Structure 1
């Protein structure tokens, strides 16, 4: 799908509507407007039945232009590109640059829509929408408009990394985390949020580099047999616990509220990336190689994060 870019070189996150949703919206609009047209025609022809044939033909043409052409144009202009059918289908008409349409856009769309949708039974509109990269019919092409989807399913990830198992959190009570920079914490947090979505080789390489950076700043070492992902999850959870204790301690110093019993946190589901360390008799796993990364430091002393992990924008 081609991205929509405004005149200021801003990429818009709009999703063009395709033929099935547009056809549903058009069918609903046509049913509604034809019901209004037929009802008004019957009422007016009964009222002016005494007129001659030319007058009756003029009344019919006027009703056709007023209802089947003027009503859709007026509705799209007043509602900013939303008709009854489009509201039901979750669609909206916008300009090519993503802005709201005006009367001239609705006029061109409505005038050409009468020809390509009603007079030609929608054949031209269907062919043009299938051929167009963004699903536009001829009215949209000449008017410079686009029909987009307003109701887009949102997929949101967790706000914070999931908590590690209890046995893992107890391994980092004495680790000095005060020297680790915030930029490294941010990189570790973003990595843990997306650890399940990464390729295993990339995940291992990034985890080992981030773990090396954290160990250099803390001056400690990983517990024997613990994976790099488990080490990162443990230090992040320990930092979060210390921040929470410091905040609560400060609030208790300003006021003395009545103590509230804390309920035990529910156990987190086991993760294959955070499995318990092997028994002493087993051989600890060998750390993965660094053939996938671009880190070229010498490993002496504390240093900022050089993992190359950049969270997605």
Structure 2
């Protein structure tokens, strides 16, 4: 009877969440200072709404449209509206996005990565009365500084965090082998190129388009003269084309070597697993 296969172990990093299909999703929580800035923007807007409400109420009282006895009721109503009702409605309607979070590129989501709803927004707003308004944000700042995802107390109780929605732009795809060097690339020997010179050459190729023409030609000639001592054969092309060909050949061969290494490890792992399963059991 063959032994049962070992259980699959899924390694989940801090910035990953596991879906119901056991797929690890890479998520990026927004940073502490950006989150604080977004919260500050929301607080300033809320204070502006509260001041506007107070001005309108004062005008109504001055015009004798409202009785003075309702002034305390209006004050309580304005505070509840600004600190609880308005944040709850905004976050529920926008699926976790307020003006402050939009400004810093964040969005409130559940701990499992799903969109937050009314319950999460209400809990966050209710706890925010204490940690943001009554303590001038001190509790939110302290708790956020000691939690991995910069979560404030309301987030911990609601099971939410602020996810980054603005991802950095992907770098441009690496250029291929220049057309005049396609045949040369099949026989070129670039393995003797020192790593330090290879890094300098790759940096030049990635930034060459942004350089001044004179500086670009000068640096290309200097690097090509150094690289030519370690590359064989040296193709009869201009220095920059030569450098681009060297970088492309090294990159392609390194990627090929990594793929072969991964395949070899996978084959060894599969062979070892098959040997264990085929071992006769006593």
Question: What is the TM-score normalised by the length of structure 2?
Answer: 0.60
Is 1:42 the counterpart of 2:15? The answer is no
Q: Is the 8 A contact 1:27 1:85 kept in 2?
A: yes
- Whole-angstrom distance in 2 between the partners of 1:131 and 1:100: 24
- Whole-angstrom distance in 2 between the partners of 1:105 and 1:62: 22
- Whole-angstrom distance in 1 between the partners of 2:248 and 2:90: 60
- 1:135-193 Cα offsets, whole Å, 9 max, x none, are 1111001111110111010333526x5214735525769xxxxxxxxxxxxxxxxxxxx
Is 1:4 the counterpart of 2:17? The answer is yes
Q: Map of 1:1-313 to 2, 5 A cutoff? A: 1-48=14-61, 51-53=67-69, 55-158=70-173, 162-164=176-178, 166-167=180-181, 169=183, 226=232, 268=241, 270-271=243-244, 273=246, 307-309=260-262
What root-mean-square deviation, in Å, do the aligned CA atoms of Structure 1 and Structure 2 show? 3.3
- Whole-angstrom distance in 1 between the partners of 2:241 and 2:178: 7
Greater alpha carbon shift after TM alignment, 102-111 vs 161-170 = 161-170
- Whole-angstrom distance in 2 between the partners of 1:171 and 1:15: 40
Unaligned runs of 5+ in 2: 1-13, 188-197, 200-230, 235-239, 250-256, 264-282
Q: Between Structure 1 and Structure 2, how many residues are aligned?
A: 195
Q: CA deviation at 1:39?
A: 1.1
Q: Is the 8 A contact 1:69 1:114 kept in 2?
A: yes
Secondary structure, counterpart of 1:270 in structure 2: helix
- Give the structure with higher Rg (CA): 1
Q: CA deviation at 1:102?
A: 0.7
- Whole-angstrom distance in 2 between the partners of 1:4 and 1:275: 36
- Whole-angstrom distance in 1 between the partners of 2:185 and 2:245: 19
Q: CA deviation at 1:81?
A: 0.4
Please identify which structure carries the higher helix content. 2
Question: What is the TM-score normalised by the length of structure 1?
Answer: 0.55
Secondary structure, counterpart of 2:171 in structure 1: coil
Unaligned runs of 5+ in 1: 174-195, 198-224, 231-266, 277-292, 295-305
Q: CA deviation at 1:20?
A: 0.6
Q: CA deviation at 1:97?
A: 1.0
Q: Is the 8 A contact 1:164 1:274 kept in 2?
A: no
- Whole-angstrom distance in 2 between the partners of 1:133 and 1:169: 52
Q: Is the 8 A contact 1:165 1:268 kept in 2?
A: no
Match of 2:219 in 1: none
After the TM superposition, which segments of 4 or more aligned residues of structure 1 sit over 3 Å from their partners?
A: 170-173, 271-276
